[in-house]
Amino acid sequence: MLTEPLPSKLELRKLALRGADVEGAVAVTDLSRLQSLLATSEGYIDAHCKLYRDEEDRYLISVAVKAELVVSCQRCLEPIRISVVTDSTLCMIAGEEQMGSLPESLEPLILEDGTADLRSVVEDELLLGLPIVSYHDSGPCADLVEKYYTAAEPDELESQPNPFAVLEQLKND
């Protein structure tokens, strides 16, 4: 867990020229779009950014994010702590018109006056990396499901018509 906060506005292009590394923590409460999807604002977000130029003189930023966040379990609606890890490389561009020239492996990062808000880059990464649904995989919530399925299984299977038998029937008719 990092203690220093991630600087938000930096001269990203200049940092890429000298191959700088930037890292720091981001508070969940600073990322309002992400926070709206979470159960609480507990947890942490660490970001490691590597800024550099590639052999084609593109300005790149590799963003690795490691976070622990609290979302609601979609089964019992109680809070559940999840880990999210993302790793992407973005290419700094000056405007949308440059987007077409990027290879598919690179995501665009549009700069304004040579800079962009790193926290919002981290937020985008987390929004993409967040699982669509989360469930407890142990504890009372998970035990309940196990009980339900083992109890329901035998009868349920027998009462379901076999789809192949139905097809067979149709053929015979």
Residues that bind Zn ion (CB under 5 A): 73, 75-76, 136, 141
Smallest distance from Zn ion to CB 125, Å: 26
User: Which of 70/76 has CB closer to Zn ion?
Assistant: 76
Q: 112 or 143, CB closer to Zn ion?
A: 143
Min dist. Cβ of residue 143 to Zn ion (A) = 10
Q: Using the 8-state DSSP alphabet, how is residue 96 labeled?
A: G
CA dihedral 116, 38, 36, 91 (to 10 degrees): 20
The answer to whether 109 and 92 have CB atoms below 8 angstroms apart is yes
Instruction: For the CB of residue 133, give the shortest distance to Zn ion in the complex, in Å.
Output: 11
Q: 95: which 2 tokens?
A: 């405007």
Question: What whole-number distance in Å separates Cα of residue 38 and Cα of residue 53?
Answer: 36
Smaller CB distance to Zn ion: residue 22 or 142?
142
Q: Which is nearer to Zn ion, 87 or 135 (CB)?
A: 135
Nearest approach, Cβ of 151 to Zn ion (angstroms)?
19
